[in-house]
Amino acid sequence: MSLIRTIQCRFYGALNRFLRPEQRHRGFSRAVKGIPAIKDTLEALGVPHTEIDCIVVNGRCVRFLYQIRGGERIQVYPDAGKVKLKKIIRRSLKPKPPANPKFVLDVHLGKLARHLRLLGFDVIYQKDMEDAAIVCMGGKSRRIILTRDIGLLKNKIVRHGYFVRATDPKKQIREIVRRFDLAAKMRPFRLCLECNGRIRRIAKSRIENRLPPLTREHYTRFYHCPRCDKIYWQGAHYKQFLKIIKTIRH
Ligand SMILES: [Zn+2]
């Protein structure tokens, strides 16, 4: 027979949104069975480990593998830098985002995928991609998982993951650029919006017969994706880019 014990929990800042309303911004008690890892207990309350940066148990920072034995007082923070507890050695649990971030997006974030590619960021996105494949890319190939599916982020192999708060695509791109500090790393005219292939300059003479009449008349600079054969020209592509930049700076 396993014993049921209780713990006291308190979540801070942005983590509260993942909790049930009656548990937000206040301490509450929770029953635990056996000796669970703290990661599993916090995720059972709704908070994926990828959003947690610091866990304090009875005044001491612990890692996700800490085993709960009952009776603990647990404080959970989204950012170790903002923990306001004296006499505590703060330990940050979130890994540093990679210097050249690459992403994998869940099936609901098609627009965000195109916008990120437009800014020059490597994004894997497929409408029919299985959750297991997304999780795998967030583990082995160290891509940052962007998702609106909290369950995806709870898998223990996920290192870099982020729950996208906004539902409007314009707000989503702004949120991601700010969250991952991408503004200085943008490189437009690099990636194909359709397939993430590398686009290259191509002579107008080679694709002239495929252009709509007005485009043929007004544009001279063209790009081609060798992977999916799509053609881009500066007019349309550049206008889209400027729109996104405006959104980000708004
Ligand atoms: Zn392509």
Cα 191 to averaged position of ligand 1 atoms, centre (Å): 8
Average pLDDT score over residue span 217-244: 88
CATH fourth-level superfamily of 4-82: Beta-grasp domain (3.10.20.30)
pLDDT (0 to 100) of residue 1? 54
| One-character DSSP codes across 174-242 | HHHHHHTT-GGG---SSB-TTT-PBPEEE-HHHHGGGS-HHHHHH---EEE-TTT--EEEHHHHHHHHH
Cα 24 to averaged position of ligand 1 atoms, centre (Å): 45
- Percentages helix, strand, coil for the chain, rounded to the nearest 5? 35, 20, 45
Cα 198 to averaged position of ligand 1 atoms, centre (Å): 7
First vs last C-alpha separation in the chain: 58
Place of tokens 């404080």: 75
107 sits in which H/E element = none
Provide the residue ranges of all domains of the chain, joining segments of one domain with +: 4-82, 103-249
Average pLDDT score over residue span 199-221: 93
Give percent of the chain with pLDDT exceeding 70.
99
The token pair that represents 139 in the structure block: 């583990």
Q: How far apart are CA 243 and CA 150, in angstroms?
A: 30
109 sits in which H/E element = none
Least confident segment among 2-16, 55-69, 110-124, 233-247: 233-247
pLDDT higher than threshold 90 for residue 67: yes
pLDDT in tens, 117-143: 999 999 999 999 999 999 998 877 789
pLDDT tier at 2 (50, 70, 90 boundaries)? low
Cα 201 to averaged position of ligand 1 atoms, centre (Å): 13
Cα 167 to averaged position of ligand 1 atoms, centre (Å): 26
Cα 208 to averaged position of ligand 1 atoms, centre (Å): 18
pLDDT in tens, 8-55: 999 999 999 999 999 999 999 999 999 999 999 999 999 999 999 999
Q: How far apart are CA 138 and CA 147, in angstroms?
A: 11
Least confident segment among 146-150, 219-223, 242-246: 242-246
Least confident segment among 47-61, 84-98, 188-202, 232-246: 232-246
What letter represents residue 38's amino acid?
I
Cα 203 to averaged position of ligand 1 atoms, centre (Å): 17
Q: What is the pTM of this model?
A: 0.88
Average pLDDT score over residue span 74-94: 89
Cα 113 to averaged position of ligand 1 atoms, centre (Å): 13
Average pLDDT score over residue span 219-237: 89
Cα 122 to averaged position of ligand 1 atoms, centre (Å): 12
Cα 193 to averaged position of ligand 1 atoms, centre (Å): 7
- Residue 219 to residues 175, 208, 223, 225: CA-CA distances in angstroms? 33, 11, 11, 18
Q: How far apart are CA 138 and CA 182, in angstroms?
A: 19
Cα 232 to averaged position of ligand 1 atoms, centre (Å): 10
The token pair that represents 23 in the structure block: 């548990």
Q: Cβ distance 37 to 67 under 8 Å?
A: yes
Cα 199 to averaged position of ligand 1 atoms, centre (Å): 7
